[in-house]
Amino acid sequence: MLARLRFPNERSRGRRYWQAPHPYRGDYQRDRDRIIHSRAFRRLEHKTQVFTVPDSDHFRNRLTHTIEVSQIARTVAKALGLNEELVEALALSHDIGHPPFGHAGEEALDTEMRKHGRRFDHNLHALRIVEHFEHRYPAFEGLNLTFEVREGIVKHSRDYRPAEFPELSEYLLDERPPLEAQLIDLADEITYNCADLDDAVEAGLLDAARVRKEVELFDRFLSQAEAEFPDASAALQFNEALRALLSAFVSGLIEGTLDAVEHGRVTSMDAVRAHPERLARLQPRPAEASRQLRALLSREVYNSPPLAAERRHSGAKLIELFHLFMERPAQLPAAYGRQAQDVPLHQVVCDYLAGMTDKFLLRRHQELIP
Ligand code: MG
């Protein structure tokens, strides 16, 4: 449908270090494979998405979340005729810069870095991972990903102003990213909204009656499920409604993006880049449902007493470790200690903590601050 706006493999700006083409894998397929084989990707399994694992074996973690995002983003890319291989590489890398303990970890690192006049941003941290921290090749540092995958990692969820981020100047900050990168943030939002709703019901923080009062579209789908399957259990009726909601979001993203492209008379990949705003979007009705769902999750789930307590608790542990390494850098692993000769200590400590899994951070905390 939007094949004319598809980012063509042959237009790639290529890799930082030249490498011979592979006999049967395209460049974005190779990037996907490099991401899947990276240590940062494997660590996603032990990083919190929203719910911490001890309560149930069924909650999403950041790895299963990433797989869901990839599946949804590829479905949308395929329906629109976009570059599915580029989309997959971007989806699989979209959270690799995430610190332990979800948003609590992100906030705690940002709070500490601000005291040193810096910020913590998981997109920029992901770029540092793929550019510097993964050591897999004798010929270069990092994964040597294509320009478009690095650009998508930087820009998937926001635009950066060139004046504020001169270090990112090579990433065409005045231009929009290709549609493939624009999709990722919305696929992410669709995925976590539906998954968090599912996990919140599993955790007993929400029930279908509450959701239908706040999210009109969900109410409609639940009524349909009740009419079609009157004898099914409430859990299966809920699941039917959730599936229909997810499907409405995905269709809403496909249709909304088509509408925006048509309305903006965008006819080429270069016009996508030059367009004043991003073109990937949900149609108004699913967008409204998404807002209603987000507001409900924020009030009843993310800020619920058990999750808020958990966040305070894990954020405090991360901050205690930050302070400890700032005061006693000798406790850092040798490789990080060496880096501190060239890079400010707070940056080294931040990089070390951001790379940790939840359980590794808890273990270090127990060892060092008994
Ligand atoms: Mg995500």
Residue showing tokens 């209603």:
292
What's the mean pLDDT in 32-51? 93
pLDDT at position 163: 87
How far is the centre of ligand 1, averaged over its atoms, from the C-alpha of 329 (Å)?
32
Nearest C-alpha neighbor of 124 from the set 97, 148, 100: 97
How far is the centre of ligand 1, averaged over its atoms, from the C-alpha of 183 (Å)?
12
How far is the centre of ligand 1, averaged over its atoms, from the C-alpha of 205 (Å)?
21
Q: How distant, in Å, are the alpha carbons of 121, 231, 367 from that of 42?
A: 20, 42, 24
> CA-CA-CA-CA torsion for 88, 93, 95, 97, nearest 10 degrees?
-170
DSSP H helices in 49-156: 62-80, 84-93, 102-114, 122-128, 147-155
- If pLDDT is split at 50, 70 and 90, which confidence band does 156 have? confident
In angstroms, the CA 6 to CA 4 distance is: 6
Express each pLDDT in 328-369 by its tens digit: 999 999 989 898 889 999 999 999 999 999 999 999 999 999
Which residues lie below 8 Å from residue 196, measured CB to CB, with a gap of 6+? Answer: 50, 297, 301
How far is the centre of ligand 1, averaged over its atoms, from the C-alpha of 212 (Å)?
25
How far is the centre of ligand 1, averaged over its atoms, from the C-alpha of 227 (Å)?
34
DSSP percent split of the chain into helix, strand, coil, nearest 5: 65, 0, 30
Please tell me whether residue 48 adopts helix, strand or coil conformation: strand
What's the mean pLDDT in 147-153? 97
48: β partners: 61
How far is the centre of ligand 1, averaged over its atoms, from the C-alpha of 314 (Å)?
19
Please tell me whether residue 166 adopts helix, strand or coil conformation: helix
How far is the centre of ligand 1, averaged over its atoms, from the C-alpha of 94 (Å)?
6
Instruction: Quote the tokens at residue 18.
Output: 């030249």
- If pLDDT is split at 50, 70 and 90, which confidence band does 55 have? low
How far is the centre of ligand 1, averaged over its atoms, from the C-alpha of 135 (Å)?
24
What's the mean pLDDT in 13-26? 95
Instruction: Compare 158 and 34 and report the one with higher pLDDT.
Output: 34
In angstroms, the CA 61 to CA 269 distance is: 35
Q: How distant, in Å, are the alpha carbons of 257, 278, 326, 343 from that of 182?
A: 10, 7, 38, 33
How far is the centre of ligand 1, averaged over its atoms, from the C-alpha of 171 (Å)?
22
Asked if 87 and 77 touch (Cβ cutoff 8 Å), the reply is yes
> What is the model's pTM?
0.95
Domain boundaries, the chain: 3-307, 308-368
Residue showing tokens 């009656």:
209
Asked if 12 and 27 touch (Cβ cutoff 8 Å), the reply is yes
Asked if 346 and 112 touch (Cβ cutoff 8 Å), the reply is yes
Of 9-18, 152-161, 193-202, 339-348, least confident by mean pLDDT is 152-161
Asked if 95 and 42 touch (Cβ cutoff 8 Å), the reply is no
Express each pLDDT in 133-149 by its tens digit: 999 999 999 999 999 99
Cβ neighbours around 168 below 10 Å, total: 18
The answer, yes or no, to whether residue 150 has pLDDT greater than 90, is yes
Average pLDDT, the chain: 94
pLDDT at position 54: 60
The answer, yes or no, to whether residue 57 has pLDDT greater than 80, is no
In angstroms, the CA 369 to CA 300 distance is: 33
Residue type, 331: Q
The answer, yes or no, to whether residue 246 has pLDDT greater than 60, is yes
Architecture of the 3-307 domain: Orthogonal Bundle (1.10)
How far is the centre of ligand 1, averaged over its atoms, from the C-alpha of 267 (Å)?
30
